[in-house]
Chain A
Amino acid sequence: MSNAILECCDVRKTYQMGPVTVNALRGVSFAIHEGDFVSIMGPSGCGKSTLLNLLGCLDRPSTGRYLLGGDDVSQLEDDALSAIRGTRLGFIFQSYNLIQQLSVVENIEVPLYYQGRPEAESRERAIELATRVGLAQRLDHRPFELSGGQQQRVAIARALVNDPLVILADEPTGNLDSSSGEEILKLFTDLNRLGKTLIMVTHDPDTAQICSRGIRLRDGVVESDSRR
């Protein structure tokens, strides 16, 4: 087994809402290895999105350690977290989250833009990835001119552009009809076969079927962690 690229040790997250303390995560520990394709499932409100935000360095755990690529990133400063997100992570959201005023290729370039990569190089890479997700003919289209499935493919290309350690997807097929959903999932399995590590939150057991590993959360703790 390859070594862990991502490791959580007793990660907790509490939200303080006035007098009420919400324990969104209550001691989550697991390790994810290179090439894993992990699904995270669980009932609504069990903390899936909270966990994914922590894994995505969009938020810091209240306590516990989180190692990403061997570095403890659990208590880093904001700028450092931004740098980590830009270089080691790829995001795919349920609602695509493309930037409306940018074209397809410009959307794909955004992560490289914030790393200050040369423009020509970024453009070349963005076009390459757009081609890979089947949008070579749509480079100059704007997001609102695309279907949901196409938009999500742009988002996938964007998540791949910085060659991240791991891709995090929060219900990537949640807004799509079944056929476009399947296309997206097919892209995921292809990526995984090429060695990409993916973590995907989903509600749908069938979707979870294609993953190589399934983590189940319940009330902020890992209920089960199974490998297929």
Chain B
Amino acid sequence: MAATLQSAGSQGKKGGVIAFFRSIDLVRLSRAMRLGVKSLWMHRLRSLLTVMGIVFGVCSVIAMLAIGEGASFEAQEQISRLGSQNIILRSLKPPDQQKVSDQGSQSFVLQYGLTYLDIERIRETIPGVSIIVPNRLMRDYVWNISRRVDCEITGTVPWYPSMRNHRVQSGRFFTQNDLDERTDVCVLGAEMLPGLFPLDSPIGRDVRVGGAYYRVIGVMEARAKPARTEEGDSNKSAAYQMFIPLTTATTRYGETLIKQRSGSFEAERVQLHEITIRVANREEVIVVAEAIKDLMLHHHKKKDYEMTVPLELLKQAERTKQIFNVVLGSIAAISLLVGGIGIMNIMLATVTERTREIGIRRALGARQRDIAMQFLVEAVLLSGTGGILGVMLGIAIPFFVSHFAGMKTIITFWSPPMAFGISAIVGSVFGLYPALRASRMDPVEALRHE
């Protein structure tokens, strides 16, 4: 074998693939690259324009991956905030009732929504359901002397934080005792601290809501943004949250909420605004959700509630991400294909244009494979440069998107090297044919070429 390869070298017999790779030493490669840079630099504008296809291909891959990844991360974050083992029921003002109350300018009490009875029913009929968190939501101003913040007041139970993956930042959440005793304590969301207590710790201080004072006992961690799903569409989402014991809320606010709206009073009676149900076993979430749905359907004649199953949302988000990835992959493939064809086109033109140079090099001792390598290196340099520019742009774009559009973007560590690698492969694949064509030219013909 060695002997035949030796003779392939000296006698010039076709050595095949092995001989080809043996003949590529790093010195030659680096020289070919320097020469390629020179040739490409001679036609700067043309090279730049050729490279654009690859640049946009690569940068769109990275940028779109980053945006998709960020969106999916955000969605998953929001869903996990709701708790993947949870089923959430919310009171909803029935649409037909709303019309009636809008027509009649007289005030009357509109009664709808979830009730304590619902909790009892669920607890009794559905197995595998563990904790049930009832919530009441009120909109009001929270005062600290002269400072005021528009806030959503949540009346709830002590185990709310663990159910909603919402951590206490300092102080404590209220306890069963607070619930039993109907104490006037509250826990503030960290978001409202700058507006309410800009200078000092709120813990131990009192805030005023309406005519009642509440002692601040704890602060909840800030949440990036209110999750749309959590807030629902019925109440305009409030960034600020304050928590008080459910019993305290019922005592203070009763069951009738009165809203004043453009001249007419509107009163609604809602026992519970929200019920969070935890299913003990994650596998059973969907089944339990079905059962609860049937139960609710049976007992609520009007559709005055809505049901959210975060696990279903999670699965949906995963599906969406898959579809997004397929679409993205196709777009990337098409744009890189177009970029590759651009490179092939320009390389064919270059080969024709430099026919005479090929002839000269052949006369001076270049072998076919030397010529092939020269043009292949140029094609890969083109696509590689495009790849690098594309990676830079692809990293910059998500940065601007997050900065100016406020969308979360995540550049996964593997996406830039992958995009760059693909661009280099595109260069070698589409550069191969022009390179072979160059190498197979007849030296005499090439030298005669004008």
A residues near B (Cβ < 8 Å) are 53, 56, 58-59, 76-83, 85-87, 91, 93, 97-102, 110-111, 113-116, 119, 158, 162
Contact = CB atoms under 8 A, between A and B. Distances in A.
B363 interface: yes
Given A58-B447, A80-B12, A85-B363, A116 B368 contact: no
A116 B31 CA distance: 10
A77 B370 contact: no
A58 B444 contact: yes
Count chain B CB atoms within 10 A of each CB in A97, A98, A102, A162 and give the residue with the most.
Answer: A97
Contact of A80 (B11, B31, B361): B11
A116 B363 contact: no
Contact of A101 (B25, B38, B366): B38
A102 B28 CA distance: 16
Top 5 A-B pairs ranked by shortest CB distance?
A: A86-B365, A80-B12, A79-B12, A114-B365, A77-B12
A157 B370 CA distance: 22
Contacts of A78: 12, 367-368
A110 B374 CA distance: 13
A58 B13 CA distance: 17
Nearest to B442: A59
B302 interface: no
Contact of B364 (A79, A81, A100, A158): A158
A119 B359 CA distance: 23
A130 B367 CA distance: 25
Interface in B338-376: 356-357, 359-370
B41 to A, nearest CB: 8
Interface residues of B, number: 31
B237 interface: no
B12 A116 contact: no
B356 A97 contact: yes
A116 B27 contact: yes
A114 B363 contact: no
Nearest to B443: A58
A61 to B, nearest CB: 13
Contact of A116 (B11, B13, B25, B35): B25
A85 B364 contact: yes
Contacts of B361: 99, 110, 114
8 contacts: A53-B444, A56-B363, A77-B13, A78-B12, A82-B362, A86-B366, A97-B363, A114-B370
A205 to B, nearest CB: 26
Given A58-B443, A97-B360, A83 B38 contact: no
A82 B12 contact: yes
Contact of A114 (B38, B42, B364): B364
A26 to B, nearest CB: 19
B165 interface: no
B46 interface: no
Interface in B13-64: 13-15, 25, 27-28, 31, 35, 38-39, 42
Interface of B: 10-15, 25, 27-28, 31, 35, 38-39, 42, 356-357, 359-370, 443-444, 447
Contacts of B27: 116, 119
Contact of B12 (A83, A100, A101, A110): A83
A169 B427 CA distance: 39
Q: Of B15, B25, B42, B363, which is in contact with the most chain A CB atoms at under 10 Å from its CB? A: B363
B204 to A, nearest CB: 79
Nearest to A77: B12
A99 B359 CA distance: 10
Given A77-B13, A91-B363, A114-B367, 4 more contacts: A93-B447, A100-B357, A101-B39, A116-B27
A101 B368 contact: no
A102 B38 contact: yes
Given A81-B12, A101-B42, A111 B447 contact: no
B36 to A, nearest CB: 10
Contacts of A85: 362-365
A99 B12 contact: no
Contact of B366 (A91, A98, A102, A114): A114
A99 B11 contact: no
B365 A87 contact: yes
A49 B25 CA distance: 36
Given A97-B447, A101-B39, A111 B365 contact: yes
A112 B297 CA distance: 89
A91 B444 CA distance: 13
Contacts of A115: 365
Among B12, B13, B357, B365, residue most surrounded by chain A Cβ atoms (within 10 Å): B365
Contacts of B364: 85-86, 91, 110-111, 114, 158
B5 to A, nearest CB: 13
A56, A76, A101, A116: most-surrounded residue (chain B CB, <10 A):
A101
